[in-house]
Amino acid sequence: MAISPALLQELEEKRKTLYLAGGADKLAERKKKGLMSARERLDAFFDAGTFMEFGLHVQHDCQNFGLAGKPMPADGVITGVGYVEGRPVAAYAQDFTVGGGSLGSKHAQKICNLMEYAMKAGMPFVGVNDSGGARIQEGDEALSGYGKIFFRNVLASGVIPQITVIAGPCAGGAAYSPALTDFIIMTKKNAQMFICGPEVIKAATGQTVTMDEIGSAAAHAAISGNIHFVAEDEKHALQIATKLLSFLPSNNVMDPPHKPAATVTLDRDIEMNELVPEDAKAPLDVTKVISRLVDNGDFLEVQKDFAKNIVICFARIQGISVGIIANQPAHKAGTLDIDASDKAARFIRFCNVFNLPIVNLVDVPGFLPGVVQERGGIIRHGAKMLFAYASATVPKITVIMRKAYGGAYLAMCPVDMGADAVYAWPTAEIAVMGAEGAVKVLFKREITSAADPSAKEKELTAEYRKKFCAPYEAASRGFITDVIEPAQTRGIVAMMLRNTLSKRETRPPKKHGNIPL
Ligand code: HXC
């Protein structure tokens, strides 16, 4: 006895028809535009031959506006599970050739079912969006579908990593599912994301604006801060997703994929000493420090084009997967402003929820002064960093490279904000404010009454800097674990990371804290 060949043929034919999606013409049209089909996208993402599809045969049951009986293969979204570098990941790709990838109730149900499976099984969830939005014919059923997805995005937040690739239109409320996920990767070509498009803006406000100005990857990466990575094309977007996943655990109860060597190397890296400019005021490009600190100079920078005064990235330090938060003195002198605070705070919370140790590199002169900042709520935004660091129970290691002044010092995770170890370079200056400012406040009379006020001010500043800002002052009061040579940083941070990986810290039980939003 064997299964009838007719049944196998029927299965084969059904699959063939469904794989044709919106039809050979539509697939060819996409190819001509240089775009991959939804299936090609998932094939490019998953390890060869590992993709298992869920719900290929699902069909809509909408009877409205010409949809009755109209075939919609897979209801316009391919869903399933495959392996990415050997680890299981759940993913969907919206199929623009089927009803413009529009979302109806079955399409939404497939995404929700997959999300629920990913949460149960504890695997990351990746979505490739390319859709005309709510399927107009399905009306409130389509809206309800979005609601169900948003709800599950929130349930999954902090349980499994969620990544969205925007590789086509993503309009109106549809943009809120990506916004609820952890990371958004957007392609330069063919992708737009917006709540109200140029025509609606024109009608409502009279303002003329182009789609590029409000909805392109470039605009979201540099101005709105809505997205985290810009990709050249969809293939590149999926490569970024793969790289991102390589640093992350599959879920919140697993450790990240650390790859520690048998022993920690404490070798000095002399070139690190050379990176520090002799002149304390000369800017230091912190990405050069990060390159030397991490394995093979390899780090994945997140939101590279947004709030450049702070750098956030994933990397490995002697095999330990970490999140790094670093002031960037080469941009706005490394000050913390509204956007930098938002950027860093969300990253800290991501690292904490997925068990990634945090390494902080500090060279911060303070919060950015200005009316725009004060009126924009820098107090509320800056407080996010304090809240995020204090709430984080993962290993937290801080290296004070140079300036660490005032409230910004506290916002960069010193020992009082829960750092497990704080190292300072001999070039570190820890104070309420810079020596120049402090001397002006404290010695106004001495300076103005001196024979040569400018020389007096210089002399007092040098004396003040030496006496009150040097790291040995803070170290003598127990605020610094040790003062180290820059060359020792990689070895010491690596050793401290290893030592602290087993850290267990609890917080008072509560529903959740109330982070200033
Ligand atoms: C049903 C849709 C659709 C939609 C596109 N199609 N969008 N069908 N509902 N929302 C269909 C088209 O009828 C067409 O069908 C096929 O998809 C391809 O669309 P084209 O217009 O031919 O493609 P293109 O010229 O590339 O333009 C793509 C587009 C445009 C820019 C996305 O289709 C468009 O503007 N669509 C409407 C977008 C929109 O306003 N959506 C609602 C957003 S608000 P055929 O059969 O001819 O191939 C929203 C609210 C969510 O989503 C709320 C959540 C809370």
- Residue 382, ligand 1, Cβ within 6 A: no
pLDDT averaged over 10-residue windows placed end to end, the chain, 517 residues: 96 98 97 97 98 98 93 97 98 98 98 98 98 96 98 98 98 95 96 96 96 97 98 98 98 97 94 91 93 98 98 98 98 97 98 98 97 98 98 98 96 98 96 92 95 96 91 96 98 98 95 97
Q: How many CB atoms sit inside 10 A of residue 449's CB? A: 9
- Residue 168, ligand 1, Cβ within 6 A: no
Element (H, E) at 238: helix 234-245
Catalytic residue among 383, 408, 431, 487: 408
Q: For this structure, is 408 an active site residue?
A: yes
CATH 3.90.226.10 fits domain 12-247: yes
**Of 122, 77, 116, residue with least CA distance to 100:** 77
Alpha carbon of 502 to ligand 1 centroid (Å):
51
Every domain of the chain and the residues it spans: 12-247, 270-428+470-500, 433-469
CATH number of 270-428+470-500, picked from 3.90.226.10, 3.40.50.1010, 1.10.10.10, 3.40.50.720: 3.90.226.10
Ligand 1 atom nearest residue 135's Cα: 9
Q: Where are the alpha helices (DSSP H) in 167-215?
A: 176-180, 198-205, 211-215
Q: Whose CA is nearest to atom 7 of ligand 1?
A: 132
Ligand 1 atom nearest residue 131's Cα: 32
> How many C-alpha atoms does 281 have within 13 Å on its Cβ side?
3
What's the gap between Cα 25 and its chain centre?
Answer: 38
Cα 472 from Cα 431, distance rounded (Å): 12
Q: Whose CA is nearest to atom 3 of ligand 1?
A: 132
Question: In angstroms, what CA-CA distances link 399 with 14, 293, 362?
Answer: 60, 11, 6
Cα 274 from Cα 425, distance rounded (Å): 13
- Residue 173, ligand 1, Cβ within 6 A: yes
β-pairing, 169-171 with 192-194? Answer: parallel
Element (H, E) at 183: strand 183-187
Same fold, 12-247 and 270-428+470-500: yes
Q: Provide the residue type at 180 as one letter.
A: L
SS3 letters for 393-443? CCCEEEEEEEEEEHHHHHHCCCHHHCCCEEEECCCCEEECCCHHHHHHHHC
Q: Which residues contact 13 (CB under 8 A, 6 or more apart)?
A: none
Alpha carbon of 77 to ligand 1 centroid (Å):
15
Alpha carbon of 393 to ligand 1 centroid (Å):
45
- Residue 366, ligand 1, Cβ within 6 A: no
Alpha carbon of 465 to ligand 1 centroid (Å):
63
Q: Whose CA is nearest to atom 4 of ligand 1?
A: 135
Alpha carbon of 142 to ligand 1 centroid (Å):
13
Q: For this structure, is 407 an active site residue?
A: yes
Cα 436 from Cα 129, distance rounded (Å): 52
Catalytic residue among 122, 147, 158, 172: 172
Alpha carbon of 163 to ligand 1 centroid (Å):
23
Ligand 1 atom nearest residue 100's Cα: 17
Instruction: Give the mutation target among 136, 138, 166, 177 for probing the ligand 1 site: most ligand atoms within 8 A of CB.
Output: 136
Handedness of CA 271, 273, 276, 279 (dihedral sign): negative
Catalytic residue among 127, 133, 407, 434: 407
Q: What pLDDT was estimated at residue 283? A: 85
Which of the 8 DSSP states describes residue 367? Answer: B
- Residue 135, ligand 1, Cβ within 6 A: yes
**Of 305, 311, 306, 348, residue with least CA distance to 327:** 311
Alpha carbon of 98 to ligand 1 centroid (Å):
10
Q: List, as one string, the DSSP characters of 76-120.
A: GEEEEEEEETTEEEEEEEE-TTTGGG-B-HHHHHHHHHHHHHHHH
Handedness of CA 324, 325, 326, 331 (dihedral sign): positive
State the angle between helix axes of 105-121 and 139-156 in degrees (0 to 180), rounded to the nearest 10.
Answer: 10
Q: Whose CA is nearest to atom 36 of ligand 1?
A: 132
Residue for token digits 């070895």?
491
Q: Whose CA is nearest to atom 23 of ligand 1?
A: 100
Give the predicted TM-score (pTM) of the model: 0.96
- Residue 169, ligand 1, Cβ within 6 A: yes
Instruction: Give the mutation target among 102, 138, 170 for probing the ligand 1 site: most ligand atoms within 8 A of CB.
Output: 102
Q: Whose CA is nearest to atom 54 of ligand 1?
A: 173
